[in-house]
Each structure stands twice: as C-alpha cells, then as structure tokens.
C-alpha cells in the first residue's frame, strides 16, 4: 500500500501519538525540526550537497542516480533504525509512522517507499517541513487567553507555575522551552539554547496541543499561564504577536520581600562555579555600572555570595519594575498578591484560590 499524504493539520494531530521521522540532512534537522521527531537522514550533509550540485549543474536524472547510489547502501540500516524506535515505544503491533522532508518531494517519497515495502503504515506530510513552518507562524496569529504570573527576580515564578500545573491549570513554561532562566545567570546549568526557529516550533506545538486538549475536554479552564518575561529570553525572542498578547493580559504579581527572595537566589544559584557566576556578572557590566560590577565580583571571590547577590538583586528589581509598569492600563491588569516566602505549594495554592474566586465572580456577573 502506498504512503498516505496528510495535510499539516492532520499531520500535527497524528504526531501526538505517532513517531515522526525527519529525512532531511543532519544539518537541517539540527537547526530546527518538528519537536519530538527522529532524525532519519536520507543523505549526509556532504551527500546532499553533491546531489544538489548535480541537479543544478547537470540534470535531474544525474542527481537521482547519484542519490540512488547513496540511498541503496543505507536501506537496511534505515529500516532497522525505524524498527528499533517502534519497538522502544512498545508499539510493535502498531506500525504507523510519519515521514517528512523539506518540501514533501523525492526524499520523503523514497524513504516512504522503502518503509512501506517493509510493512510500515506510512504517512507523509504534503508540503513537508516548509508547510509545517507556515503552520507554526499561523499559530502565533490566533487569539489566546493568557494569564501572567509576575514577581520580582527570586520569587520562584517557575516553581509556582509547576505547582499550578500540578493542581490543574494549563501552563506553558517559556523558560523551559528556551533552556534559559531569563537573567544573566539564566544559561548556567541549562542545556544549549535552541535556535530561534526551533523555539518557535516548540512554542507553536505547545499552543496547539493545549487548545486541542481543551476542545477534547481534557483540561480545566481556557486560560494559559505564562511567566512574566522580557521579550528576549537569552538568545531567543518571544514572537511579537504572543508578546503583545502577554502585555495585554492579567498579571498576578507575587509580592515577596527582598530578603526572602535574596535567600532563595543564594540557595539556588550560589551552588554554581564562581567562574561562571563572574562571567555572567561581566555580561551586564555596562548596565550594572563599573563600581557595582567590581563590588559584586569581589564579594563572590571572597565567598560572600549573599552580598554579591544583594547588589545584583537591586539591579534586577529596578529592571523588572520598569518592564512591569511599561504596560497600558496597568491598574486594570495588575493584581498584587502578598506572599510570606518563596514557597511553591503555599503560593500556588494562594494564587489558585484567588484566581478561581475571581473567575467564579466574573461568571456570576456575566450570567446576571
């Protein structure tokens, strides 16, 4: 049976439960790919360049013959790789797989033919990865109901989001997708950041699957909780339309004392190598100022992490306050929530109680 071509909507929906194989070159895959997909390159980077050059400078037929030379030697290995992944997912009785290349052309057709011949039920993506990227950008133009969790640096916003997710709220962890905690220290202890394109792919899939869960009745509530972020998270940028929507959303601000937040930061970041902390401070030297930079580094070298971080926290509080107040209609958007300490469970339950009460009140008003 020949491979079945899917539209992008069908492909993304089926990808939630079916393995995806990307047959583009390793370089294409490493730059950005469908989240969770497996790299199954038809050609190496060098082979792709050879075939492409032959196509442009000689003929389509010459390029196909070269491609067949490369493909023939890999057939068994490719089948075994797919077989191993299917078996590892414990779905040996369900041999459905998704395959795509760049435009949905010869590369995916060749691999689909091979895997279909072996006995897999193969689906290919009409338009390939290019169609997926168009779909990704379309997700950012949709209307979403965001609720923003705010708080000065050291408020434990990420761990509170985890708690909100645990008790049933819909959450997208932007910093988790970006592999960065947002400050100058944000890359320490994290995996390398994705490319901008890959970050967008991850975010688009998250948004789509959250909406799909609502439509299927698997999630409670229609709002998506996000952490209050700068538009730039390390090296990646939140797409403009999403960023604009975030800035127009309700903000629940955890008001936690400076000293409580300082101690949390010391416990969280004070464990990292001094050299990495110094390098991070140097990255904000121009904005922090020469004297404060010098003092913060000297405190670190003297193993006085608390006083070093005190300087940095004053800087980040001013920076966050500027971003927080740079909103239109802030008085209608901002909800201040006094919190005694940086405690994920306590603060998560407090915010849950307040937001649920506000939601119930709004529902009663709308029904009267």
CATH number of the domain bearing residue 48? 3.40.250.10
Q: Which of 137, 158, 188 is the last residue of a domain?
A: 137
Query: With bands split at pLDDT 50, 70 and 90, how would you rate the model's confidence at 285?
Result: very high
For 368, half-sphere exposure in the C-beta direction (CA atoms, 13 angstrom radius) is 6
Predicted confidence at residue 213, as pLDDT, reads 67
Q: What is the mean pLDDT of the chain?
A: 91
Q: Is the pLDDT of residue 216 over 60?
A: no
> What does the block give as tokens for 355?
């937001």
Please check whether residue 129 is in contact with residue 9, taking contact to mean a CB–CB distance below 8 angstroms. Answer: no
Predicted confidence at residue 144, as pLDDT, reads 92
For 38, the domain range is 4-137
Q: Which CATH number characterizes residue 244's domain?
A: 3.40.50
Predicted confidence at residue 366, as pLDDT, reads 44
- Judgement on whether residues 319 and 232 belong to the same structural domain of the protein: yes
- Judgement on whether residues 248 and 322 belong to the same structural domain of the protein: yes
What are the pLDDT digits (tens) for 27-77?
999 999 999 999 999 999 998 999 889 988 999 899 889 888 888 889 999
Query: With bands split at pLDDT 50, 70 and 90, how would you rate the model's confidence at 132?
Result: very high
- Judgement on whether residues 56 and 126 belong to the same structural domain of the protein: yes
Predicted confidence at residue 33, as pLDDT, reads 98
User: Distance between CA atoms of 19 and 98, rounded to whole angstroms?
Assistant: 6
- Judgement on whether residues 110 and 167 belong to the same structural domain of the protein: no
What does the buried/exposed string (b/e) look like for 192-201 if buried means 16 or more CB atoms within 10 Å of the residue's CB? ebbeeebbbb
Predicted confidence at residue 296, as pLDDT, reads 95
- Judgement on whether residues 132 and 156 belong to the same structural domain of the protein: no
> What does the block give as tokens for 170?
């819909």
Q: How many domains does the chain have?
A: 2
Mean pLDDT calculated for residue range 201-219: 77
For 230, half-sphere exposure in the C-beta direction (CA atoms, 13 angstrom radius) is 19
> What does the block give as tokens for 292?
């404060």
Mean pLDDT calculated for residue range 344-361: 82
pTM: 0.91
- Judgement on whether residues 341 and 272 belong to the same structural domain of the protein: yes
Predicted confidence at residue 361, as pLDDT, reads 42
What are the pLDDT digits (tens) for 145-163?
999 999 999 999 999 999 9
Q: Is the pLDDT of residue 358 over 90?
A: no
Mean pLDDT calculated for residue range 122-147: 96
Predicted confidence at residue 214, as pLDDT, reads 59
* Catalytic site residue from 6, 101, 203, 251: 101
CB atoms within 10 A of CB 147: 22
Q: Which of 87, 105, 137 is the last residue of a domain?
A: 137
Predicted confidence at residue 356, as pLDDT, reads 77
Q: How far apart are the first and last CA of the chain?
A: 59
- Judgement on whether residues 315 and 360 belong to the same structural domain of the protein: yes
Mark whether 339 is an active-site residue.
Answer: no
- Judgement on whether residues 178 and 301 belong to the same structural domain of the protein: yes
Q: Is the pLDDT of residue 365 over 50?
A: no
Q: Is the pLDDT of residue 368 over 50?
A: no
- Judgement on whether residues 70 and 212 belong to the same structural domain of the protein: no
- Judgement on whether residues 231 and 115 belong to the same structural domain of the protein: no
Query: With bands split at pLDDT 50, 70 and 90, how would you rate the model's confidence at 2?
Result: confident
- Judgement on whether residues 146 and 110 belong to the same structural domain of the protein: no
Q: Which of 137, 172, 207 is the last residue of a domain?
A: 137
Predicted confidence at residue 158, as pLDDT, reads 94
Distance of CA 30 to the CA centre of its chain: 15
- Judgement on whether residues 231 and 335 belong to the same structural domain of the protein: yes
Q: Where does residue 256 rank: exposed (0-12), middle (13-18), buried (19+ CB within 10 A)? A: buried
């Amino acid at each position: 049976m020949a491979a079945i071509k899917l539209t992008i909507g069908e492909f993304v929906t089926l990808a939630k439960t079916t393995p995806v194989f990307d047959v583009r070159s390793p370089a294409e895959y490493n730059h950005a790919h469908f989240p969770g997909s497996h790299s199954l390159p038809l050609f190496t980077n060098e082979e792709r360049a050879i075939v492409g050059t032959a196509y442009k400078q000689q003929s389509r037929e010459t390029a196909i013959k070269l491609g067949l030379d490369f493909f023939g030697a890999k057939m068994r290995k490719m089948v075994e790789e797919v077989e191993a992944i299917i078996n590892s997912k414990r779905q040996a009785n369900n041999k459905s797989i998704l395959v795509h290349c760049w435009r949905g052309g010869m590369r995916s057709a060749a691999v689909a033919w091979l895997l279909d011949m072996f006995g897999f039920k193969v689906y290919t993506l009409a338009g390939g990865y290019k169609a997926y990227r168009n779909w990704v950008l379309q997700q950012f133009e949709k209307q979403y109901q965001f609720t923003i969790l705010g708080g000065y640096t050291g408020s434990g916003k990420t761990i509170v989001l985890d708690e909100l997710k645990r008790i049933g709220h819909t959450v997208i962890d932007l910093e988790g997708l970006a592999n960065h905690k947002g400050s100058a220290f944000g890359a320490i202890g994290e995996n390398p950041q994705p490319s901008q394109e890959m970050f967008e792919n991850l975010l688009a899939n998250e948004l789509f699957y959250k909406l799909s869960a609502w439509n299927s009745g698997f999630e409670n509530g229609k709002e998506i909780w996000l952490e209050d972020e700068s538009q730039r998270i390390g090296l990646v940028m939140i797409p403009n339309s999403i960023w604009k929507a975030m800035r127009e959303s309700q903000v629940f601000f955890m008001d936690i004392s400076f000293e409580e937040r300082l101690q949390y930061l010391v416990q969280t970041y004070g464990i990292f190598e001094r050299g990495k902390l110094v390098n991070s401070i140097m990255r904000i030297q121009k904005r922090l100022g020469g004297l404060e930079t010098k003092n913060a580094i000297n405190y670190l070298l003297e193993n006085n992490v608390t006083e070093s971080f005190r300087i940095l926290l004053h800087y980040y509080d001013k920076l966050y306050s500027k971003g927080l107040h740079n909103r239109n209609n802030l008085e209608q958007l901002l909800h201040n929530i006094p919190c005694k300490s940086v405690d994920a469970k306590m603060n998560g339950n407090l915010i849950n109680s307040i937001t649920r009460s506000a939601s119930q009140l709004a529902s009663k008003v709308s029904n009267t």
